Amino acid sequence: MIETVRRVVRWFESPRLATWLLVFVGAWSVVATAVPQGDTVAAWASVHPFIEAVVRMLDLHHAFSAPLFRVVVFMLAVSTALCASKRTKVAFHRARALRGAQDQDRDSLISAHNLEIVCAVGRGSTEAVAEADAALRRLGIKTKRRGDVLSAVSPWWTVWGSPVFHWGLVALIAVVLMGSLQRSEGMMGVPVGQSVPDQPGSYGVLHTGPLHSWSRVHHNIRVDDLVTDFRTGKIDRGPTPIVSVLDADGRVVKKQPIYPNNPLQAGSLTIHPAAFGFAVNVSLLSGDGAVYNRTTKLVDISEVAPEGTAPLGALTVSDREGQPAERVVVTVPLRQEGGNLVVPQERQAHLVVTTVDGKPVADRVLNTGESIALPSGGMFRIDSIGYYARLTVVHDWSIPLLYAAMAVAMAGLTLTVVVRQQAVLVTVAEGPDGSLRLYASLRFWRNVPTNRAEIETELTRVLGAGQKEDDS
Amino acid sequence: MTIEIVLMWVALTCYVVASALFVFGVTFVREGMVRAAMFATAIGLVPQLVSLGTRWARVGHGPYIGYYEVANGLALFVVALFLVAAWRNQRLRAAGIAIMPVAVLLLGGAMLTPTSDLPLTPNLASYWLFIHVVFANLAFASFVASFGLAVAYMLRERSRSGKWAKRLEKLPAQDVVSELMTRFVLAGFLFWGIMIVSGAIWANQAWGRYWAWDPIETWSLIVWIVYAVYLHVRFTLGWGGQRLAWFAIVAMPVSLFALLGTPIVFNSVHGGYIGGVDG
């Protein structure tokens, strides 16, 4: 059993597997951008019937939530975690080696060197050290003098870039996964001046993660105003709602204008503007003129609708027995001006009343305060026509952690890319035969402007009568 | 034709001359021509900078919006990074034979597109735009530098004792060129990563989601993965030599496609940076 686990771990640790997993994710992503994503793919499918069969089999129309893709990403995450763990061990070893090199004295260097050059006759040790120093500097290695030892040893932390980067990626994948399980994201329409509870019933469109809980959400969202030409400095931010978040007791927790790049953030809640439209407040009156129901109908601005607006659903009116009798559809006609549709100063409501089975009953344009009699008895009155804001509301506690994981990964990568990892120690001493010899310990890992071969060649050129290499 | 456009034509002319001088200088082993090519490159950068600076002051935003500005910005960073690299290590000058033609193609392409001013849309009006674009440009310039070194490596490798080996003998040793190529890839990988991260933070600010597998987002990830594979095969599978050089040569056009091709090919919410309108 343990042996099997070890084998699996070794397999996941394999750099070859990691490379192939990366290649798969890359290739899959390329294909995914060439295949339409989502559910509205009928037109594409009819043009590519053969490819469609393969695409459906692999669930490529939902490429980034397809089971195969998820399995590969999971494997990549495991592989990255094991790779990070392996690199952590390597970094420990290297950090220890760097600390050791920083403490290394002349005698220990002479006994544990990996390069030895016999200096030409007629040169003193001070002169030889100075020439070695100059040669190393020419190759881009700046040394410090520690007694008779030239030293260019990186600090211990320089070797931690790669593990930090890989652990950052692991954390990123974990946070994205956990965040998506608890994330909720949806759109709600809120008329200006009204507030709605932040609960599923208030949303028109809502996607929630399987572990999201609404029982801990107790606030309300209110749209205080909608400024159609909001400006900050010289920039026109477009139609901008002023939004408040209220706690369970009705106290304002946060209030601000929201526009692109300026969302409202309160804890794990983020609110963005999505669109705006009209909110038509209507009253239903009984035959004796008493109001028995008030409601708000939302109307969207639409480029394809002939009047420039489209209703968000119809209102069903019941008769005295409580049976559905009529359906009322409300729009707000826009005015033509120079080929564009603009919002008129005096807004009106266009009402189309039909029976529940679709027979036309009335088609009228009403001003605010006007009403229309319904065949089932009673009246339908337009009280006011204002705006509503459609808001994108997101609950996601993972965003700050996500940013932190990204920052850690990028910091690790920066360290990996920028900082040198080297341990260079050089000294000159008399050898067993009485000749002057250069002893060096050279260890290079990353971002070094030269290499061991170049250093050997250069030092031999400036100092050497001969070279004796010892890789002990 | 405005002074901005005239200056840009001057810059393009300098880059064309520089490219030609690099080709002739390297091919006929004329060091003087290579020096002149470097001079023409540096001279060309001046009118390009002045033109872009003037435009920036006039329209109120940097070269971020529309094909003309985006390709122009990329060309600027490619040339500037090459100049800095060749100034720090003069032995790299011969790589201009492959790098400068890329700058010419970018700037030439930009000059053939509409140069009209495009305003900042509400979604684009953010300081994240600056960070996002600067790192995209830095990354692409690094990838082009690795591409140039890879081309030089391959030319020399294919004729180890032949004409090209002699023509490019001023370059550092092959293993040093290969190492430098990888260092540019590493730098580009870092910059591209920062570009993706800043884009994700910005997307969350602008749209309320940090990642949506939009085609442009997806292609930016594809490029990062391509270079991650490069670094994996280099550092963990021990690839080197011609295979690695070919990799760097093939990978660079992928990054170019991600930056300039995807907004044209795909319908994307990010399309605003090329078309000047929000998706």
Contacts of B99 by beta carbon, 8 Å cutoff, 6+ apart: B78, B82, B144, B145, B147, B148
Give the residue-averaged pLDDT of A47-55. 90
CB contact under 8 A, B208 and A394: yes
Q: Which residue has the tokens 């090519």?
A: B37
If asked whether residues A246 and A320 sit together in one domain, one would say no
Strand, coil or helix: A222 = strand
A337-369 tens-digit pLDDT: 877 888 888 899 999 999 988 899 899 999 999
If asked whether residues A288 and A363 sit together in one domain, one would say yes
Residue to substitute from A17, A22, A234, interface B, most B β-carbons within 10 A: A22
Strand, coil or helix: A458 = helix
The strand pair at A252-257 and A324-331 is best described as: unpaired
Higher pLDDT, A336 or A255: A255
Give the domain extent around A144: 104-154+420-468
Q: Is residue A350 part of a domain?
A: yes
* Residue B275 pLDDT class (50, 70, 90 cuts): low
Q: What is the pLDDT of residue A345?
A: 83
From chain B, pick out residues whose CB is under 8 angstroms from the CB of A18. Answer: 232, 236
Q: What is the pLDDT of residue B1?
A: 64
If asked whether residues A19 and A83 sit together in one domain, one would say yes
Average pLDDT, chain B: 92
CATH of the domain at A120: 3.30.310.80
* Residue A304 pLDDT class (50, 70, 90 cuts): confident
Average pLDDT, chain A: 91
Is residue A73's pLDDT more than 80?
Answer: yes
From chain A, pick out residues whose CB is under 8 angstroms from the CB of B254. Answer: none
If asked whether residues A348 and A365 sit together in one domain, one would say yes
Give the residue-averaged pLDDT of B200-216. 91
Q: What is the pLDDT of residue B188?
A: 97
If asked whether residues A403 and A373 sit together in one domain, one would say no
Interhelix angle B127-158/B174-207, nearest 10 degrees: 160
Q: What is the phi-psi region of residue A249: left when phi exceeds 0, alpha when psi lies from -120 to 50, beta otherwise?
A: alpha
**How far is A27 from B224, CA to CA, in rounded Å?**
12
**How far is B209 from B202, CA to CA, in rounded Å?**
9
If asked whether residues A57 and A70 sit together in one domain, one would say yes
Three-point CA angle A58, A64, A69, nearest 5°: 55
If asked whether residues A257 and A282 sit together in one domain, one would say no
Q: Look at chain A and report how many structural domains it folds into.
A: 4
A295 touches chain B (CB under 8 A): no
- Residue B278: closest C-alpha in chain A: A260
Distances in whole angstroms, Cα of residue B23 to Cα of each of A435, B29, B245: 52, 10, 20
Q: What percent of chain A has pLDDT over 70?
A: 98
A29 touches chain B (CB under 8 A): yes
If asked whether residues A299 and A398 sit together in one domain, one would say no
**How far is A203 from A205, CA to CA, in rounded Å?**
5
B125-152 tens-digit pLDDT: 889 999 999 999 999 999 999 999 999 9
Q: Which residue has the tokens 């591409």?
A: B147
DSSP A120: P
Q: Is residue A165 part of a domain?
A: no
CB contact under 8 A, A260 and B187: no
A173-218 tens-digit pLDDT: 999 999 999 999 999 999 999 999 999 999 999 999 999 999 989 9
* Residue B277 pLDDT class (50, 70, 90 cuts): very low
Distance from CA of B200 to the nearest CA of A (A): 9
Q: Is residue A163 part of a domain?
A: no
A413 touches chain B (CB under 8 A): yes
A430-440 tens-digit pLDDT: 988 888 999 99
Q: Is residue A173 part of a domain?
A: no
Q: What is the pLDDT of residue B161?
A: 67
If asked whether residues A271 and A283 sit together in one domain, one would say no
Residue to substitute from B177, B218, B239, interface A, most A β-carbons within 10 A: B218
Strand, coil or helix: A227 = strand
Q: What is the pLDDT of residue A232?
A: 87
Chain A, residues 250-279, CB within 8 A of chain B, namely 259-263, 270, 272
Is residue B66's pLDDT more than 80?
Answer: yes
Q: Is residue A241 part of a domain?
A: yes
From chain A, pick out residues whose CB is under 8 angstroms from the CB of B208. Answer: 185, 263, 270, 272, 392, 394
If asked whether residues A117 and A38 sit together in one domain, one would say no
Predicted complex ipTM exceeds 0.90: yes
CB contact under 8 A, B229 and A37: no
The distance between the two most distant Cα atoms of chain A, rounded to a whole number of Å, is 124
Residue A9 near residue A86, CB atoms below 8 Å:
no
Q: Is residue A94 part of a domain?
A: no
* Residue B271 pLDDT class (50, 70, 90 cuts): low
Q: What percent of chain A has pLDDT over 90?
A: 71
**Residue A349: enclosing H or E segment and its boundaries?**
strand A349-355
The answer to which of A84-88, A188-192, A343-347, B182-186 has the lowest mean pLDDT is: A343-347
B152-166 tens-digit pLDDT: 999 988 876 678 888
CB contact under 8 A, A414 and B123: no
Give a three-class secondary structure readout of B48-111: HHHHHHHHHHHHCCCCCCCHHHHHHHHHHHHHHHHHHHHHHCHHHHHHHHHHHHHHHHHHHHHH
Give the residue-averaged pLDDT of B105-123. 90
Token pair in block for residue A23: 């290649």
Q: Is residue A177 part of a domain?
A: no
Residue pairs between chains A and B whose CB atoms are closer than 8 Å:
106
Give the residue-averaged pLDDT of A69-82. 96
- Residue B200: closest C-alpha in chain A: A403
CB neighbour class for A89 (10 Å; exposed up to 12, middle 13-18, buried from 19):
exposed
B11-26 tens-digit pLDDT: 999 999 999 999 999 9
Q: Is residue A243 part of a domain?
A: yes
Strand, coil or helix: A366 = strand
Strands, DSSP E only, in A401-457? 421-430, 436-446
Distance from CA of A334 to the nearest CA of B (A): 24
If asked whether residues A368 and A403 sit together in one domain, one would say no
Is residue A400's pLDDT more than 60?
Answer: yes
From chain A, pick out residues whose CB is under 8 angstroms from the CB of B175. Answer: 451
CB contact under 8 A, B210 and A234: no
Using CB atoms, pick whichever of B123, B183, B232 lies closest to residue A15.
B232
Q: The whole model's pTM is what?
A: 0.90
If asked whether residues A209 and A66 sit together in one domain, one would say no
